[in-house]
Amino acid sequence: MRRGMALARIIGAFFLLLACAVRLAVAEAPQINGVRSGQLDDASRLVIETSQHLPISLFLLAEPYRLVVDFPASRWRVDAKAEAGKLSAPLFKGYRFGAPQPETSRLVIDLDTAAVPEQIFWLPPQDGRHRLVIDVVARGETAFRIAAQGLLANQKQGFFTIPEPTKRKAGAVPLPRPRPTPAAPALASNNAKAIKGVPIPPPRPLAANNATSRASPRWVVFVDPGHGGKDPGAISVNGHHEKDITLKAAHELAKQLEATGRIKVVLSRRGDKYLRLRQRIALARMNRADVFISLHADAAPSSKARGVSVFTLSDKASDKEAELLARRENKVDLIDGADLGSVDPEITPVLLGIFQRETKNQSSMLAGRMLMAFDDLPTRKRGHRFAGFAVLKSPDIPSVLVEMGFLTNKQDERYLLDANYRRQIMQRVTRAVVAFLEASRPPLPNVLATN
């Protein structure tokens, strides 16, 4: 009898302990305590409040556009809010919360348009509240595609941790403010960030563009004639300036691209004007360019060096000559004493890395197509080369730099001064760009494997 009671007590104690352990585990499960949104210059800001600093994982899905934020298994504790609701900031529609797998919690943000995260950070914790901030910007279909594919390729790495600062830095990050009423058009403030001396194009109505892009795509190609104004670029054997030759070539390329009826061209400069490299990048991004083409015709120490090369961005140069060339081109920004370090657009480093990897792949594909198209040009083909050209640093636009020839070589100089030759080379660039754009539109993922 006594033994029976002792056994009952032991069993009772065991269940009590089990109950405590379960309760403890539940209490310690992270919680999602709030989801808010607000407008900030050209970005829409999402703030997710949690009970603790959490690792996350990000995805973008298309048809319809969605931003997916995964957390380790967390509980939904948003006061008086169901697990789905509306968000007021322009680029967001609403949110949904769920658990695709027992160990994963998922917040899906329905986007109004092809918008991508550019900034992601944690605010310093305050009274036990932890806040993850994600700033989302509409940069067009190509930027969305690059971000979505880059994030998907990164999926194998699972959750990643963004550090949470302990103290707020000077110049604190503003929190969302309520959306002005009546509701502004979704992209009205998209070009709010002006760049000194650079005209700001009107915003592209993305919704309309998306609608038409499915039926008959009208891509935006950004054509950048190298140098200009107080920066003449290379000077030829007979005293011709690179800046004039690149401008003529750019106008020819613009004409050819527009003639396809499927491409809108934006030129970085139409006349003899000095522009910094980062202004060229910013203009291309503002215009939501699908492709960035910088045109150059440079000099070499040897007058024998000649031929056409297509360059893409790389930290490591393909050869010594490429490295020197990139260094010389990048010095252009120092004419005004500009800081080269600021060429990288402001994107959270982990995202910048993910986007740039994808952009580099795309840029290489474009370079390959161009070189193939150059096959029957009379000039020498020097191939696909790479180096750290600052002007190719757009994180979300496939970018190439075409060295059309060497002004220090008599034969190349003759070619570059010949309108007929420029037309030949630009016809081939156009063919390659159209083929690239047509091929770079495979359907985007619309479900995640775990959905």
Binding residues (CB under 5 A) for Zn ion: these are 226, 233, 296, 298
Minimal distance, residue 140 CB to Zn ion, in Å: 27
C-alpha 59/C-alpha 420 separation (Å) is: 48
In the complex with Zn ion, which residue's Cβ is closer, 298 or 321?
298
Q: Which of 141/403 has CB closer to Zn ion?
A: 403
Nearest distance from C-beta of residue 338 to Zn ion, angstroms: 17
Question: Are the C-beta atoms of residues 140 and 206 closer than 8 Å to each other?
Answer: yes
Which residue lies nearer to Zn ion by CB, 101 or 302? 302
Residues ≥6 apart with Cβ < 8 Å to 133:
45, 46, 47, 119, 120, 121, 122, 123, 173
Beta bridge partners of 296: 403
Residue number with CB closer to Zn ion (309 or 430): 309
Nearer Cβ to Zn ion (151/401)? 401
Query: Distance (Å, rounded) from C-alpha 388 to C-alpha 327?
Result: 8
CA separation for the pair 26, 347 (Å, rounded) = 36
Nearest approach in angstroms of CB 239 to Zn ion is 16
Fill in the amino acid letter for 76.
W
Which of 66/227 has CB closer to Zn ion?
227
Q: What's the closest the beta carbon of residue 253 comes to Zn ion, in angstroms?
A: 16
Minimum distance from residue 296 beta carbon to Zn ion (Å) = 4
For Zn ion, the closer of residues 179 and 240 by Cβ is: 240
Position of minimal CB gap to Zn ion: 296
Locate 214 and state its tokens.
């499915």
Task: Give the shortest CB-232-to-Zn ion separation in angstroms.
Answer: 10
What's the chain's length in residues? 451
Rounded to whole angstroms, the Cα distance separating 83 from 103 reads 18
What are the phi and psi torsion angles at 245 (to 5°)?
-70, -40
Residue 204 or 382: the one with the smaller Cβ distance to Zn ion is 382
Q: Tell me how far, at minimum, the Cβ of 340 lies from Zn ion, in Å.
A: 16
Residues 6+ apart with CB under 8 A from 54: 30, 71, 72, 74, 130, 132
Return the number of the residue (56 or 308) whose C-beta is nearest Zn ion.
308
Specify whether the CB–CB gap between 277 and 298 falls below 8 A.
Answer: no
Is residue 436 within 8 A of residue 373, CB to CB? The reply is no
CB of residue 347 to Zn ion, shortest distance in Å: 26
Strands 399-406 and 308-313: antiparallel
Tell me how far apart the alpha carbons of residues 336 and 66 are, in angstroms, rounded to a whole number. 42
Q: How far is the CB of 76 from Zn ion (least distance, A)?
A: 56
Q: Are the C-beta atoms of residues 100 and 106 closer than 8 Å to each other? A: yes
For Zn ion, give the closer residue by CB, 233 or 405. Answer: 233
Question: Can you tell me which residue has the tokens 């027992």?
Answer: 102
333 token code pair: 């920004």
Place of tokens 């038409």: 212
- Provide the minimum distance between the beta carbon of 273 and Zn ion in the complex, in angstroms, as a whole number: 15
d(CA 342, CA 439): 33
